[in-house]
A and B are shown apart, each in its own frame.
Chain A
Amino acid sequence: MNIDPLIVEILQIAVLLIVAPVFTGWIKMVKCWFQGRTSPSLFQPWRDIVKLFSKDVTLAENASWIFRFTPYLVFGISVMAGGIIPILSMDLPLSAMADVIALVALFSIARFFTALAGMDIGTAFGGMGASREMTIASLAEPAMLMAVFAVSLVGKSTSVSQMAIVISQGHSLLRPSLVFALLAFILITLAETGRVPVDNPATHLELTMIHEAMILEYSGRHLALIEWASMMKLFLFAVLGIASFVPWGIPRNGELLSVAVALLVLLFKLAGIGVVLVLIETGLAKMRIFRITEFLGSAFLFATIGMMSYFMLE
């Protein structure tokens, strides 16, 4: 039997909201294993979020409305993005709401406001975080667009579900353009979601922070929303990668059984992605901020080689 696409949408957003913290927990878990420690439970991020919701909020005296508005906006954008990327089915009414470029732009408006919130309370750390975040973002943007370009050459479209449909037809792992676009996409994801080697999500040292530095003054439910949203962002980049590079297993339409299967396949893929991510994070050390130019430069190089090899070799 077929499910109504709208229900699939709601299902997807539910999956996003629920699974994203678990995905982060899974990454922590694998990391603990790799470091030979006993890990906290898979649901630790969930417990943190719930705890934070139950706590009070302590606002800086000079925080303006932007500071209080930002968490809700960032959260809202992440939730909306969950309805655009095909996670459980490719036939989504909302997936036409934004193509990849608009999706990236949605993320960048979230970043815009986070940076403003960092500058709002007028500490040096906030400004530092904002400055670094915007710098890295502006370096990552061209590489991202190049990767989109390479994929859209193969997918003949920039709308995510269309690309997923086209790519899931051909045996695309042999196409150099997609391979290089994938490499570039991985590097960009590390930069955009603030993972090692670009940023260390677990750092305690203010001077090395990028994303943390902007949210140092958040507390209570605001902090909960922001942390939840950043977990969702990681999850969304993961599913975006799945949809545009390994879309096999995502059904064309919301047929009940295949959606259930798709959920299982998704969890399987996510587990794999988590392991890869942890391998990268354990293998690399955090970079000096001015080495990130080279890091993202190579991302741009990968994407460009992908684009060129489409014209030259395919």
Chain B
Amino acid sequence: MNVQLASHLNSLLASFILLTAFGLVVQRRMNALLHLFAWQGFFLAVSTAIVGYLGGAHDLYISSILTLAIKVALLPYILHRLIIKLKIHKEVETVVNIPATMLMGIVLVIFSYHLTAPIRELSTLVTRSTLAVALATVMLGFLMMITRKHAVTQIIGFLAMENGLLFAATSATYGMPLVVELGVALDLLIAAFIFGMFFFHISTTFDSLDVDQMARLKEED
């Protein structure tokens, strides 16, 4: 597999990651969201492996395997169990005006492309072009966390942001040191578990996962 073909593949994967990010923003169903998230992790893992091959940075293989293990298998499984236990696995969440959200997302992508222009000038890597996509993925994750009301969808948005960060790291500087990777992965797991407990508490206190309920926590005067 020659370098040119590999970089082609990489950019294709980058665009798929962007697509899944958009999908996460506009998708209504819980299960579909989980599937999209898993796919995003999968694309991320493959592209990480390809970048490792391109840059000859072999620790990226490990981080790709980590991504595969955690973001494609473990986290979706945990979240799946979670939403089944919370009996929201069939829930359909209303997203505010999907076309408007899409347009917002497009604007964000353009913005991030504009933002990363100087870095593209500096960097010399084959993968520098995907940096904009990575930043856009982060922003879209953020957008998702903003537009969603449901706690589970918000953690998915959080994880999507983290995907974007990892992708940015791999594409900008052939990945961060392995230790950091491991740490991040561990953090994610812990975060997921903590989120899980939170959900239980939220849902037991308000018997709903609608974070707007939290407004009731502020003291009335």
Q: Do chains A and B touch in the complex (CB under 8 A)?
A: yes
B residues in contact with A311, CB < 8 Å: 113
Q: Which of B7-15, B71-79, B162-170 forms contacts with chain A?
A: B7-15
Q: Indicate which residue in A174, A175, A301, A314 contacts B5 across the interface (CB closer than 8 Å).
A: A174
- Count the B residues whose beta carbon is within 8 Å of the partner chain — how many? 24
Q: By DSSP majority rule, is chain B's interface helix, strand, loop, or mixed?
A: helix
Is B5 a contact of A313 with CB atoms below 8 Å?
no
Per-residue interface assignment for chain B, residues 1 to 33, with 1 indicating a CB less than 8 Å from any chain A CB and 0 otherwise:
000010011011011101100100010000000
Is B11 a contact of A301 with CB atoms below 8 Å?
no
Tally A-B pairs: CB < 8 A: 58
Is B129 a contact of A301 with CB atoms below 8 Å?
no
Is B102 a contact of A313 with CB atoms below 8 Å?
no
Q: Indicate which residue in A174, A297, A300, A309 contacts B9 across the interface (CB closer than 8 Å).
A: A174
B133 within 8 A of A: yes
- Count the A residues whose beta carbon is within 8 Å of the partner chain — how many? 20
Q: Indicate which residue in B5, B26, B105, B129 contacts A312 across the interface (CB closer than 8 Å).
A: B129
A201: shortest Cβ distance to chain B, in Å?
Answer: 26
Interface set, chain B 13-60, CB cutoff 8 A to A = 14-16, 18-19, 22, 26
* Given A305-B22, A308-B113, residue A297 in contact with residue B12 (CB < 8 A): no
B98 within 8 A of A: yes
State in angstroms the CA–CA spacing of A105 and B145 once bound together: 41
A residues in contact with B14, CB < 8 Å: 176, 309, 313
Per-residue interface assignment for chain A, residues 164 to 187, with 1 indicating a CB less than 8 Å from any chain B CB and 0 otherwise:
000000000011100110000000
Q: By DSSP majority rule, is chain A's interface helix, strand, loop, or mixed?
A: helix
Is A313 a contact of B11 with CB atoms below 8 Å?
yes
Which residue of A is nearest B105, CB measured?
A: A301
State in angstroms the CA–CA spacing of A218 and B105 once bound together: 45
Is A312 a contact of B133 with CB atoms below 8 Å?
yes
Is B15 a contact of A313 with CB atoms below 8 Å?
yes
Is B132 a contact of A301 with CB atoms below 8 Å?
no
Per-residue interface assignment for chain A, residues 265 to 306, with 1 indicating a CB less than 8 Å from any chain B CB and 0 otherwise:
000000000000000000000000000011001101110110
B110 within 8 A of A: yes
A residues in contact with B129, CB < 8 Å: 312-314
Q: Indicate which residue in B15, B26, B98, B110 contacts A309 across the interface (CB closer than 8 Å).
A: B15
- What 5 additional pairs, Cβ within 8 angstroms, besides A305-B19, A305-B109? A174-B9, A179-B15, A312-B133, A313-B15, A314-B129
Q: What are some 24 contacts across the A-B interface (CB < 8 A)?
A: A174-B5, A174-B9, A175-B12, A176-B11, A176-B12, A180-B15, A294-B99, A297-B99, A298-B26, A301-B22, A301-B106, A302-B19, A305-B18, A305-B22, A308-B109, A308-B110, A308-B113, A309-B14, A309-B18, A312-B113, A313-B129, A313-B133, A314-B11, A314-B129
Q: Interface of B with A (CB < 8 Å)?
A: 5, 8-9, 11-12, 14-16, 18-19, 22, 26, 98-99, 102, 105-106, 109-110, 113, 129-130, 132-133
Per CB-CB distance, the 10 closest pairs between chain A and chain B, nearest first, are A176-B15, A313-B11, A297-B99, A174-B8, A309-B15, A294-B98, A301-B102, A312-B132, A176-B12, A313-B129
